Structure 1
Amino acid sequence: MAEVLIIGAGPVGLFMAALLLQDGVDVQVLEQRGAPELQSRAIGIHPPALAALAGTGVAETMIAEGVQIRRGMALAGGKCLARMSFASVSDRFPFVLSLPQARTEAHLERRVNELGAGALHRGVRLTGLSDDGTRVSVEADTASGTVRNSAPLVIAADGVRSTVRALQGIDVRVKEYPDSYLMGDFADGTGFGPDAALFLSGAGIVESFPLPGQLRRWVVRLGPGDATFGGPDAGGPAAGGPGADARWLMGCVRERTGLAIDAGTNSMLSRFGVRTRLVPRMVAGRVVMIGDAAHEVSPIGGQGMNLGWLDAAALAPIVSAAVRGQDVADRLRTFEGTRLRAAARAARQAEINMALGRPLTDRLLALRNRGIAGVAAVPPVNSLIARRFTMH
């Protein structure tokens, strides 16, 4: 028995555990995966999240390993139309940190193990959950058989396919978008250094972000004629395996940006569609959902993982107070309303980001590009957009 059970040991669950453990709360973390996930999708860590992570003592080592993105560029036709600096968004962290999610999780897991040896349990698949109003009991399968745990409070940080959410019977509002993307990591030969770059092509936007180890991530918005993985259309990502898909991405980047990347240096490749999932409530009895279990937003803009961390940072002092016997009902209601509004704002921002990157006719492309250049040329507006982009 523990004071708090956390379901899920992704970046949000591990951060939640670290926050509570360092405040003296007895925490047990149950994770279905037997080992950490090595492939990284999320890479961007925004200043408010860095400030929260600093509270657990992991930010400095993450910053030392990652790449500090201090500005972004919008390019079209080989010319730079606009620049955006993050210098004014934060006195302490005037940048977006680029660090692969697998490395972020490794830093957080190390901290959890330092604070509570034996708190993290892997290979535990949740199969049942019941809330009697005073404690929550869970049942799970492990390699050794069925185990049962209970705690006064359960925090669900088990992702977009949350088992806790399903067992609780909580509906989720889903919105599907027509957008889909192909992204991959390659050796960086651009000369952009630590800058992010957005290529405003009429065929669809191309995003490019630096990664540690002289790598760069490329994200291509797929058009209606581009096939999916394994699809029959040889003109799109091909049914010839990852090598063929990397070559297709290379050709697409060259066509839309004029830059060459070496397909042979590809180290990660992933196609993803876009949807929004939002729960109507994050608190259900003695169960609280945070991160992707409560809200999934488009990866375009890189706010999803950060949103979950800010959930955890807001929830941690409430949980600590509850463990010490305080009445936190009003604080939980405030937390829920505030974080649901934050998720809705992030979803709207992601919709704007996606809309700006969709394929356009030549006339609309020219209008969009002139608009972006004009807006960026007004310093107060440029600064405001930079703050919105970095979750301020």
Structure 2
Amino acid sequence: MPDHDVAIVGAGPVGLLLACLLAQRGIDAAVFEAREGADGRSRAIGIHPPGWAALDAAGLGPAVRAEALALDGGEVICGGRVLVSLTFDEHRRVLILPQHRTDELLRARLSEIAPHALRLGRAVTGVQDGGAVVRVSLETTHEATASFVVAADGVRSGIRRRLGIGWMPRPGAGGYAMADVPDAARGARAQLYCEQDGLVESFPMPGGRRRWVASDPHRALDDAERFANAIHARTGMRPELPAGMRPTAFRAQQHRASRLVAGRIVLVGDAAHETSPIGGQGMNLGWAAAVRLAAVIERSLRTGRADLGSYEKHTLASAARAQRRSLFYMTMGRPARGPALPVRNAAIRLLGTAPLRGRTADMITMRGTG
């Protein structure tokens, strides 16, 4: 008999949510995480309809809604003119909550329903599929065994690499700088500035804060003054960064694993697909996949057959759609000058017209993704 029904490698938001879903089904899931503590960075902040549906399924919906800021909608702006204005109804609501707080709520929920499931400071150094049982090699102890192993160990997944699974680049890459600053005066709407010198995003956050993101292809905005000056030059707005704060520079990229299943080992979340954070889809995409995977694992354990093909097919197709959306968002936010600028702006305005407004809101909020 294996030690566990499922071993999950990685205690990020997707691994934790999957563990909660499995534990609710009475499935013994152990989560192995190399880090001793939690990641305190805010990172992903948007919880789209597929995401809050997944959190509801894990019993976390009320706790998240109690703390999150509900985004009313937003505007796309260029040169001081509103190109598109959208309002989100309750079916398209986007909740805003920093990822570190979402992780804390997920950890608390897992502790409530499976007190000993989370194993911190337990780095996984290898996995070996033995047919009916998968052996998990651990850095600090000998090993653990499980009927299934789920790699939720992120974009740089060691398990994916050890299995020799391809990591295919997809179109859509760019440099950005980001800072979360105090700002309680601008309400619960988002602004996207598609300016001639590049994209600026402004998102409200709980606790009277706001996230600013600026395209930064040359990695020049990692200084507070340059960051604020660039945003002011593009939008006329100047975020006030607290003393000593430096913007976080990052590069958005897109990849997709060539396959997600190797026997009884399966990839999920960022280990399966890297989606540009522009558009805020990655975490929600992983959560929707975790809901599918939990149901497939439960059925496989019940029947004794490792039937993961439907999960792989559906998840890869969903990732491909999300990556196409992200590429579109990034393309619309690129610098545009001369004749290209009014053409681009006309295309954006078209998305806000009455015949397309509902579909545009669905696309932005990931409604219907699953």
Q: Same fold (TM over 0.5)?
A: yes
Give the match for residue 222 of structure 1: 216
Displacement of 1:327: 3.4
- TM-score normalized by the length of structure 1: 0.89
| 2:266 maps to 1:288 | yes
Give the match for residue 242 of structure 1: none
- TM-score normalized by the length of structure 2: 0.94
Report if the CA contact (8 A) 2:124-2:139 is conserved: yes
Q: Distance between the aligned counterparts of 2:360 and 2:244, measured in 1?
A: 32
Whichever residue aligns with residue 115 of structure 2, its letter is A
Give the match for residue 372 of structure 1: 348
Report if the CA contact (8 A) 2:48-2:95 is conserved: yes
Displacement of 1:176: 6.5
Whichever residue aligns with residue 75 of structure 2, its letter is M
Q: Distance between the aligned counterparts of 1:50 and 1:188, measured in 2?
A: 26
Displacement of 1:178: 4.9
Displacement of 1:325: 3.3
Whichever residue aligns with residue 207 of structure 1, its letter is E
Q: Distance between the aligned counterparts of 2:135 and 2:261, measured in 1?
A: 16
Report if the CA contact (8 A) 1:186-1:265 is conserved: no
Q: Distance between the aligned counterparts of 1:60 and 1:360, measured in 2?
A: 43
C-alpha distance after superposition, 1:142-201 (max 9, x if no partner): 3xxx33100111011110011111221212112475511001111115x43110101121
Q: Distance between the aligned counterparts of 1:178 and 1:334, measured in 2?
A: 29
Aligned length: 365
C-alpha distance after superposition, 1:77-104 (max 9, x if no partner): 223222012217x2xxx31111101001
Report if the CA contact (8 A) 1:186-1:266 is conserved: no
Give the match for residue 383 of structure 1: 358
Q: 1:128 aligns with which of 126, 129, 149?
A: 126
Q: 2:148 aligns with which of 147, 150, 153?
A: 153
Give the match for residue 30 of structure 2: 28
Q: Distance between the aligned counterparts of 1:192 and 1:251, measured in 2?
A: 19
Cα gap change, 1:123 to 1:210, in 2 (>3 Å):
same
Q: Distance between the aligned counterparts of 1:175 and 1:368, measured in 2?
A: 23
Q: Distance between the aligned counterparts of 2:314 and 2:271, measured in 1?
A: 16
Whichever residue aligns with residue 268 of structure 2, its letter is I
Give the match for residue 179 of structure 1: 174
| 2:330 maps to 1:354 | yes
Give the match for residue 197 of structure 1: 191
Structure 2, gaps ≥5 residues long: none
Q: What SS does the corresponding residue of 1:302 show, helix, strand or coil?
A: coil
Displacement of 1:48: 1.5
Q: What SS does the corresponding residue of 1:14 show, helix, strand or coil?
A: helix
C-alpha distance after superposition, 1:285-336 (max 9, x if no partner): 000100001100111101001111011000111111222234352xx21221
| 2:143 maps to 1:111 | no
| 2:168 maps to 1:166 | no
Alignment map for 1:324-363 (pairs within 5 Å): 324-327=302-305, 329=307, 332-363=308-339
Give the match for residue 137 of structure 1: 135
Alignment map for 1:52-131 (pairs within 5 Å): 52-87=54-89, 90=91, 94-131=92-129
C-alpha distance after superposition, 1:66-122 (max 9, x if no partner): 11112110122223222012217x2xxx31111101001000000001011111001
Cα gap change, 1:10 to 1:160, in 2 (>3 Å):
same
Give the match for residue 232 of structure 1: none
Displacement of 1:280: 1.6
Cα gap change, 1:301 to 1:118, in 2 (>3 Å):
same
Report if the CA contact (8 A) 1:29-1:119 is conserved: yes
Displacement of 1:370: 2.8
Deviates more, 1:128-137 or 1:176-185: 176-185
Q: What SS does the corresponding residue of 1:315 show, helix, strand or coil?
A: helix
Q: What SS does the corresponding residue of 1:205 show, helix, strand or coil?
A: strand
Displacement of 1:276: 1.4
Q: 1:320 aligns with which of 270, 278, 298?
A: 298
Q: What SS does the corresponding residue of 1:186 show, helix, strand or coil?
A: strand
Q: Distance between the aligned counterparts of 1:256 and 1:372, measured in 2?
A: 18
Task: Give me the CA root mean square deviation.
Answer: 1.7
Q: What SS does the corresponding residue of 1:263 show, helix, strand or coil?
A: coil
